[in-house]
Amino acid sequence: MTNPLTQTPTWSALSDHAAATRGTHLRDLFAADPRRFATLSIEAEGLLLDYSKQRVTTETLRLLRELWRAADVAGWQARLAAGEAINHTEHRAVLHHALRHQHCTPVLFEGRDVMPDVRRVLAHIKSFCDAIHGRHWRGATGEPITDIVNIGIGGSDLGPRMATQALAAHRHRDVKVHYVANLDGADLAMTLADLQPRTTLFVVASKTFTTQETMQNAHSARAWLVAALGEAAVERHFVAVSTNLKEVAAFGIDTANAFEFWDWVGGRFSLWSAIGLPLALAVGFDNFVRLLEGAAAMDRHFREAPVEENLPATLALLDVWNTNFLGAETHAVLPYSQSLGLLPRYLQQLEMESNGKQVGRDGQPVGHATCPVVWGEPGTNGQHAFYQLIHQGGRLIPCDFIAARTADFALPGHHQKLLANCFAQSEALMRGKTLDEARAELASAVPPAPTFLAPYKVFPGNQPSTTLLLPAIEPYTLGQLVALYEQKTFALGALWNLNSFDQWGVEYGKQLASRLLPIIEGKAAATGLDSSTAGLIAACKP
């Protein structure tokens, strides 16, 4: 069975509408409607979303919003909020929104309010942050901690790492936080090269405390510490974010220094949990709470705002339009903020691990394209790398431009130029430049430029983009921004009939790696392998 939504009259009407409007250029849409920006922008929760440069009309939006209602996204929102096991392949509820819930109303899981546990762990994070920042927590030699190394991977790394960089302007003056994720020893070795064991604390983030990459790095870090300070130092220089207290204790960590989270917290949605401990240490607990408050405000907006004024809903519907009806295969995220430089990488996991699937909730192929390839870099760096392809490469590449009205690092003369480049790029992608315009430009140059250059200066334009304008890059707005994309991802799963909360594609490679490791180590025979894998293993033997 295909996605039931594709069988609706609205899906067929959107297909016909896409075919009928395919030849319409964005510059013509702007010329025909001087109020296009006012009509096709949303200002909510202090954010401004301008989607007037998307290849949509009011009729497109009417049909897309009909699709939203046909998919019963509101019903899926209610199931999520009620603690139903909407992650049906793993029989798990999805309650990461409880981690930032700001009201006294309960959040139920199997009939029990989870909020007392959430608040207990938050209090644990606060007391630990107070101990580190107040220099009450001392290492084995009695010295205060100056460097924190978070050891995790995937959701236990990308979220806090991205947010720590994003909030660099708010970092705590006495503590520097580092992140190690890659199994490649170079990641850990280069991080430790400039650190002192006596003033370094490690946060080992693994729900099961068995994740291969994380535990290999943790054991290597432990060996580094023990070589300098001895076995007894481990419990003063390691804490854990885990639920497997037996393994935590076996490692040598005092279980009183293990920070809990729960099965209803998916890895790529776990920034708001104890996985955010290194972020709280980097920017202070009060700023961590502000992050949670911003996310909670976006959750409330997503639940309560009508679809016509709903920020996550609008982003999700535009993705459906561009992917399923215009044929886009990629999506560029272009933050004009160096602080948000890791956001595209974070969104790659959030969106592609969630919705990079072709099997629907009924176990059958959905029958259409789903998540596009998400990629990007901060502006203006990207302008000197891949923007050439977006402008003249002949591919449809929808773009999200993200900027802040005010700078988080206010060096004179920088921010205005940054905004000018951001707005100019979205205009150029929309407008393009015709052959006649290129010829006129060359003729008016002083001295006149060679006319043979005209074809090279033609820009097709008509590239769809959205611009999201934040007041500033600070904890509250970062919480809003991340929750905005989380809710968009959830909505797309509902529209595409996907379970956005499992990741079986990640597991297969891990299974094969477990089978190959004994062969590479020389502990098992190389039997049953394809010739390529066998040849590569043989080539690595001494």
CA distance 476 to 493: 26
CB of 102 within 8 A of CB of 299? no
CB of 261 within 8 A of CB of 246? no
CA distance 186 to 522: 23
Across the beta sheet with 465-470, what order do the strands follow?
Answer: 41-44, 47-50, 465-470, 399-404, 330-335, 373-375
CA distance 146 to 465: 43
CA distance 236 to 275: 19
The interaxial angle of helices 311-320 and 475-496, nearest 10 deg, is 40
Q: Tell me the catalytic residues.
A: 353, 384, 510
CB of 439 within 8 A of CB of 454? yes
CA distance 141 to 288: 30
Q: Token pair 């994070």 is at which residue?
A: 125
- CB atoms closer than 10 angstroms to residue 241: 29
DSSP assignment string, 283-321 = H-HHHHHHHHHHHHHHHHHHHHS-GGG-HHHHHHHHHHI
Pairing of strands 465-470, 47-50: antiparallel
CA distance 173 to 119: 27
Whether omega before 447 lies within 30 degrees of 0, making that bond cis, reads: yes
CA distance 461 to 55: 11
CA distance 275 to 267: 9
Q: Which two tokens stand for residue 27?
A: 């510059």
